[in-house]
A and B are shown apart, each in its own frame.
Chain A
Amino acid sequence: MKLDFDTWLAVVQLQADYAAAVDSGRWELWPDFFTDDCVYKLQPRENHERGFPLSTLAFDGKASLRDRVYGIQETLFHDPYYQRHVVGTPVLRGVEGDGAIRCESNYAVFRTKLNGLSTVFNVGRYLDRVVRTPDGLRFAERVAVYDSEMIPNSIIYPI
């Protein structure tokens, strides 16, 4: 599999931009990292490995991501917190016939509640399908498979 350096750089940049966006508190930035007919899932590793289809969150299409943003901003009561993603260098798994790039990367998310200490919140890996669009690279599919199956109460913001 060959990938030119500029494409590789763009994939790394996409990952970094995503992390910066979902840590910024500007939730409206989140859907724009995806294609219109995207798939986003946040799935416990147990379900993923046992072939159970349930995800903790499972959205398809950008519209459903915008509904989640509205939920975060307007409808979901929660104890406010900061989150901070640390994302590893992506492992390239392959380039598909249509040019879509399959890659994986480890991530750790720390949560910091107001007046609280920072704690490890959610760790896992992203399984991504990245495609070229006129606006640059976007996620056609992003599945966050998390090891932290025992969720510390709730997950409100995008991982």
Chain B
Amino acid sequence: MSEAQTPARPAAALQWEAGDTSRIPFAVYTDEQLHREELERFFYRGHWCYVGLEAEVPRPGDFKRTVVGERSVILSRAADGQLHCFENVCAHRGMQFCRARHGSGVKEFVCPYHQWSYTLSGDLQGVPLRRGVRQDGQVKGGMPADFNPKEHGLTKLKVASRGGVVFASFDPDVEPLEDYLGPTILPYFDRLFNGRELTILGYNRQRIPGNWKLMQENIKDPYHPGLLHTWFVTFGLWRADNKAALKMDAHHRHAAMISTRGNAGKQSDVSQVSSFKAAMELEDKRFLDIVHEDWWGEPTAVMTTIFPSVIFQQQVNSVSTRHIQPDGHGNFDFVWTHFGFADDTPEMTARRLRQANLFGPAGFVSADDGEAIELSQCGFTQKPGHRALAELGGRGVEETDHMVTETLIRGMYDYWRKVMEQPA
């Protein structure tokens, strides 16, 4: 292939000022062509994306509508108990046929337009008037004799489930989920999802006007929580002098930020931080009625980012999945699914629900993050030729035993460049 025929690679034209990933061009957040390419390379090829929890579709005939990247998909459980995931686009005329967000007791999916029907595993089972109509002793119309329903099922995704968490991929050649997560991240995944039955506590949904990667970066950035989030720093839930570790998979795409609570209210280096409020006292102490659970081990918080689509949260007794659903380069929907465990006592459920006040779109802590992301996107948009700095803790990519570093963000862009700069 001559150079003139080489497909355009928008990522190759980016200027990485330092050569490494310590200075990130704003264009990665503002360029629509790059965004289209990211969807193809991260969400639709070679990667697993989160689609839900098994507890959302516990019985045969249950389904949930969700997305992989920007493509609408349905997660269903067939009569034999198997999970299936297929694209919400009718094989006939392309209609996005499923509008319900969830359902149960379903026997089939029917496209309302021409009543084509599909099984719970996405196979085409019925085409009205396929054999035409009989008039005056003659068969008129109908599908051609060689029409084969087997060739016209819905686009099926590969499905993998581990510990009650379901992932799907449009790529039939994607590596096994366990290899995808990798041996460093897998133990943190299994710590939270160790096979116990999960119970759904409910959802929160927010539309954040910013690039989807900013949410991955937010949870790969241990620098901000002890600064932006007054609650975290003041009550010692997350601050720079907590015992901590930052881990990555071998590709640097997934990460875990591991922290152990300490030092609440004590004076130290962090007391210079303007958001630290030594005098702050909760009137209702139950917001921080933390009870240690055996499965935690030593850490009191582990925030795991699975690239590109999901964050798994354990912050003391509050556990949730946070699904990143991109919508163009400048917007994403962020869907929180709070859960508990089937063997939780009523007191523990009440505690998880109370601590949920810290998180989500109105949370004492997390509401800040969406706001910071929106205003970062504003900055990128007004100055698209500029770049961000991510030099805290050096310019390289390595795991650390402290939080005063942006190494995980540099790591993510190291992986991003590897994938995005490959020839098409």
Interface residues, chain A, with chain B CB atoms under 8 Å away: 42, 44, 46-47, 50, 52-59, 61, 63-64, 66-68, 70-71, 74-79, 149-156
Contacts and interface: CB of A to CB of B under 8 A. Distances in A.
Nearest to A59: B357
6 contacts: A46-B101, A54-B353, A54-B356, A57-B357, A59-B284, A77-B372
A78 B367 CA distance: 8
Contacts of B101: 46
B207 interface: yes
B211 to A, nearest CB: 14
Given A44-B204, A76-B364, A154-B371, 16 more contacts: A50-B202, A52-B201, A52-B202, A53-B202, A54-B204, A54-B353, A56-B362, A64-B283, A66-B283, A67-B283, A75-B275, A77-B228, A78-B367, A78-B371, A149-B203, A153-B361
Given A64-B283, A153-B361, A46 B203 contact: yes
Contact of B362 (A53, A57, A149): A57
Interface residues of B, number: 40
A142 to B, nearest CB: 15
B338 interface: yes
Contacts of A77: 228, 368, 371-372
Contacts of A44: 202-205
Given A150-B333, A151-B206, A152-B207, A58 B284 contact: no
A47 B350 CA distance: 16
A75 B205 contact: no
Highest count of chain A CB atoms <10 Å: which of B208, B284, B286: B284
Contact of B349 (A53, A59, A68): A53
A155 B362 contact: yes
A154 B360 CA distance: 8
B374 interface: yes
A64 B202 contact: no
A76 B363 CA distance: 9
Contact of B209 (A54, A75, A153, A156): A153
A58 B357 contact: yes
Contacts of A50: 202
Nearest to B362: A155
Contact of A56 (B275, B277, B280, B361): B361
Given A52-B203, A54-B202, A67-B284, A78 B357 contact: no
B287 interface: yes
Nearest to B230: A75
Most chain B CB inside 10 Å of its own CB: which residue of A70, A150, A153, A156? A153
Contacts of A74: 230, 277, 280
B356 A58 contact: yes
B235 to A, nearest CB: 11
Nearest to A77: B368
> What 6 pairs across the A-B complex have the smallest Cβ distances?
A54-B202, A52-B202, A75-B230, A63-B283, A47-B202, A64-B284
A109 to B, nearest CB: 13
A44 B362 CA distance: 12
Contact of A75 (B231, B283, B354, B361): B231
Contacts of A152: 206-207
A81 to B, nearest CB: 11
Nearest to B356: A54
Given A67-B287, A151-B204, A152-B207, A79 B374 contact: yes
Interface in B313-347: 333, 338
Contacts of B203: 44, 46-47, 52, 54, 149
A28 to B, nearest CB: 13
Contacts of B364: 68, 71, 75-76
